[in-house]
Chain A
Amino acid sequence: MQITIGQYFPGDSLLHRMDPRAKILITIALIVGVFLADSVLSYAAMFAFAFAMIRLSRISVKYIVKGLKPIMFIVIFTFVINMFFTTGGTELVRWRFIRITDSGVRAASFMALRLVLLVIVTQLLTLTTSSIALTDGIESLLKPLARIGFPAHELAMMMSIAMRFIPTLMEETDKIMKAQMARGADFESGSLIQRARAMLPLLVPLFVSAFRRADELALAMEARCYRGGRGRTRMKQLRCTKLDAAGAAVAAALLAVVAVL
């Protein structure tokens, strides 16, 4: 029950104060940048930028690194796969069927760095933006699409309700698990199929409860006059400031650098 990765880290830094829309757009730009980067220098620039952002957010580097832990397996796995299966380039090592080339090492390193950068960048977004600001930002960004029938408001509402209920359902999962364990259920041993079957006593009650909650929530929302996005106002108004413009400019500059290098 201690999933803290990417969860909002309350604060009042420059990054925290930026408009969520600006942050989302900058994050997207950075993700593009990550995929464009194809040289040691451009990666260096990206990492330097990421490091500067972390300092600006006033979140400790240690905390961010800790957040990387769960994906380390994927990073190493990608690294290994890329190293062994990239052909071409000068051969460095050859042992039985294993063959490592310099371009393999290069592709593998870049791939791994790419993943790490992606996680740092998206983590920074979610760490400095509350889920509500995030969904507000997404809704606002998608609003132009509403004119062609895209359900921007509904999507944002769904996201924020999902986030509201994640902790509730996590607590419930823990409770149901304990209750079934008290009836002798075993969630930990056995073959894969046995284990999948063993999840039923957990999943069925969990889904039944989620549906019941959804039903009741719908009724409660209706009782509070909810009738979709039309005619709705928001208490918190999003406002872009000079700060956001500056952030966007810096991100654009970085993107240009990465693209050229």
Chain B
Amino acid sequence: MSIIAVSDVSYKYREDAGEAVKNVSFEVEEGEFLAILGANGSGKSTLAKLINALFVPTSGSVTVCGIDTRDESRVWDVRAACGMVFQNPDNQLVATIVEEDVAFGLENLGVAPDEIRRRVTEALDAVGMGEFGKSAPHMLSGGQKQRVAIAGVLAMKPRVIVFDESTAMLDPVGRAEVMNVVRRLNREAGITVLWITHFMDEAAQADRILVIDGGSLKACGAPRDIFRQTALLREAGLDVPEMTALAQALRAGGLCLPDDILTVDEMVVELCRLKSKT
């Protein structure tokens, strides 16, 4: 059974407003790394909040770990099973000391003090922040703060973590730090990841990509299949990976290249192959 099932979901912020999310359906398998790609205002953040039961669908249904998010009595079960990391690292840390912040969610769940202590240490180690337990959040870099936020979610032992543009405000170093931690959690701890972003290079690392535009699902597939649909990506206000665009220009110039080249390495291999033929 899939861990998340979104079925024909629509959402309106107000009765008289347009739909921020329109008839969206998809499923996520346990252990999957799914990227949701969309421009600002495409509805991707709304979708994230629907999965965490912060919003309840106007119509349709969202099921997380078998729990319907409309079931008000089980809202806290949904949130414990499906953690969320937000965009601004400053606005999601509650406590003045890192380890206290990581403990926050567990304290809310009523976990016993000794167990909290154990899980906090474990979670901080898992994100490589073990030595920062006693630090103050405002002394950390953006990437470090985001890793603390991840530890705070991780300590609650969720099966799914939704990242809502969690790297958008970070510098390249911070982005890489966070991306590495998340990929490791996905591979090694088997945590299902929903990665919401407008960065191509990040989405390229996912197992599968959903493209969302104007609140609707426009495409769904493996990164290679998505990126070769350059017209669709441009239409959705997204970037086309540079090497894919270059490959297209070269194909237009008469070169015989595959249409799903993503990286510089692949391009070098292909071009060298062509060169050896001439």
Contact = CB atoms under 8 A, between A and B. Distances in A.
B116 A235 contact: yes
Nearest to A226: B108
Among A219, A226, A233, the one with the most B-chain Cβ atoms within 10 Å of its Cβ is A233
Q: What band does the interface of chain A fall in when counting residues whose beta carbon is under 8 Å from B? A: 20 to 34
Contacts of A221: 94, 104
Given A224-B153, A225-B109, A226-B108, A235 B91 contact: no
Given A216-B86, A233-B113, A235-B103, A224 B156 contact: yes
A234 B114 CA distance: 10
A164 B88 contact: no
Nearest to A213: B91
Interface string B76-105: 100110011010101111111101100111
A219 to B, nearest CB: 6
Contact of A168 (B80, B90, B106, B111): B90
Contacts of B74: none
Interface of B: 49, 52, 54, 76, 79-80, 83-84, 86, 88, 90-97, 99-100, 103-113, 116-117, 120, 136-138, 152-153, 156
A225 B76 contact: yes
7 contacts: A160-B96, A216-B91, A219-B49, A227-B76, A235-B100, A235-B120, A236-B100
A216 B92 contact: yes
Contacts of B99: 235
A147 B110 CA distance: 20
A164 B52 contact: no
Contacts of A232: 107-108, 110
A219 B54 contact: yes
Contact of B104 (A130, A131, A226, A236): A226
